[in-house]
Amino acid sequence: MKIALFSDVHANLPAFEKALESIDQQKPDAIYCLGDLVGYHIYPNEVIGEIRKRRIATIAGNHDTKVKKLTEQQLSETGKNYAYGIIGQEEKKYLATLPAHIQVDFELNEDKLKILLVHGSPNRNDEYLLEDKDEADFIKVFKDAGADILCFGHSHKPYHRILSETIGNTTHYFHAINTGSVGKPKDGNPQGGYILLHIHKNSGKLYADSLQVQFVRFDYDIELSARAIENSPLPDEFADRLRKAY
């Protein structure tokens, strides 16, 4: 089974178009978006339109839920709020319907495998699950959510961390996977990114090697995208962040 997961497009249409081209070439069995379609760029309606046209299952990121919390005064402002003020009414209605989580269950022999897709964490879409999080605290997040594999975005920094807990003679593995960002990386690499999950049947158990995580980076016209920001009422700093990936 091959699953494509991406997050944090942030209205960067040039990056999103290249991401979709790359995903199409990979021919995944399923595609999921982990939120933050909007914010920081000028193409929120186009990105939402493409998501809807392709019927990509999507959850709400913190920027997606932020839209309905802004006042009319805030939505009419220039500066950073301009990115939300240009979102169309139908697109706002769509964002308001997005779920907080998506759960994907597999049955491998007699055992069940639970993948939980969130934006930030199972508790809040604006909570960071960083790679250096204390292991015991991280495992508690998994156990509280009842998840074996937790996929998320929000920090824009991709990683795959395997955690384990041994009780008696049994070791259980937990996979924490950050998809990175399609449209606004923050790891020093300005290429857009997404992941492919390859799930292997391994005696029905989730061992450390039962899951392969493939990090895919792709080129897009960063200058074209950055200049579009600079030619808009958005802060020029947003363009600089695209170029330098911070």
Neighbour-count burial for 224-233, b at 16+ CB within 10 Å, e otherwise:
ebbebbeebe
Give me the percent of the chain exceeding a pLDDT of 70.
94
With vertex at residue 30, the alpha carbon angle to CA 197 and CA 146, rounded to the nearest 5 degrees, is: 60
Q: What average pLDDT does range 139-166 have in this prediction?
A: 97
**Among the listed residues 189, 196, 117, 108, the one whose alpha carbon sits nearest the alpha carbon of residue 153:** 117
Residue 112's pLDDT band (cuts 50, 70, 90): confident
Residue (of 232, 233, 226) closest to 78 by Cα position = 233
Token pair 């005696």 in the structure block, residue: 203
CA atoms within 13 A on the CB side of 21: 11
| Amino acid symbol at 162 | I
Q: Give the per-residue pLDDT at 183.
A: 98
Which tens digit of pLDDT belongs to each residue from 199-228? Answer: 876 644 555 566 899 999 999 999 999 999
pLDDT digits (tens, 9 = 90+) for 54-97: 999 999 999 999 999 999 999 998 899 999 999 999 999 999 99
pLDDT band of residue 146 (cuts 50, 70, 90) is very high
Query: Per CATH, which fold does 2-244 belong to?
Result: Purple Acid Phosphatase; chain A, domain 2 (3.60.21)
Is pLDDT at 117 greater than 80 in this prediction?
A: yes
For residue 209, what pLDDT is reported?
61
Contact call for residues 93 and 60 (beta carbons, < 8 A): no
Q: Which residues contact 164 (CB under 8 A, 6 or more apart)?
A: 171, 172, 173, 174, 208
pLDDT digits (tens, 9 = 90+) for 123-142: 999 999 999 999 999 999 99
Q: Look over the chain and give the mean of its residue pLDDT values, rounded to a whole number.
A: 94
d(C-alpha 163, C-alpha 32), whole Å: 24
At residue 204, the pLDDT reads: 47
Residue 113: predicted pLDDT: 83
Place of tokens 């955690």: 163
Instruction: Looking at mean pLDDT, say which of 6-20, 64-78, 103-117 comes out highest.
Output: 6-20
Q: Sheet holding 111-117: strands in order across?
A: 102-108, 111-117, 149-152, 170-178, 159-167
The answer on pLDDT for 42 being more than 70 is yes
Residue found under tokens 């919390």: 69
Please tell me the predicted confidence (pLDDT) of residue 240.
98
At residue 189 the predicted structure's pLDDT band, cuts being 50, 70 and 90, is: very high
Identify the pLDDT of residue 85.
97
At 4 the three-state DSSP class reads: strand
User: Is residue 59 within 8 Å of residue 99, measured between CB atoms?
Assistant: yes
- The whole-number pLDDT of residue 157 equals 98
Quick check: 208 and 162 in contact, CB under 8 A?
A: yes
The model's pTM is: 0.94
Query: Which of these, 43, 172, 208, 186, lies nearest to 128 by C-alpha position?
Result: 186
Q: Which residue has the higher pLDDT, 26 or 107?
A: 26
Domain boundaries in the chain?
2-244
Least confident of 32-46, 157-171, 189-203: 189-203
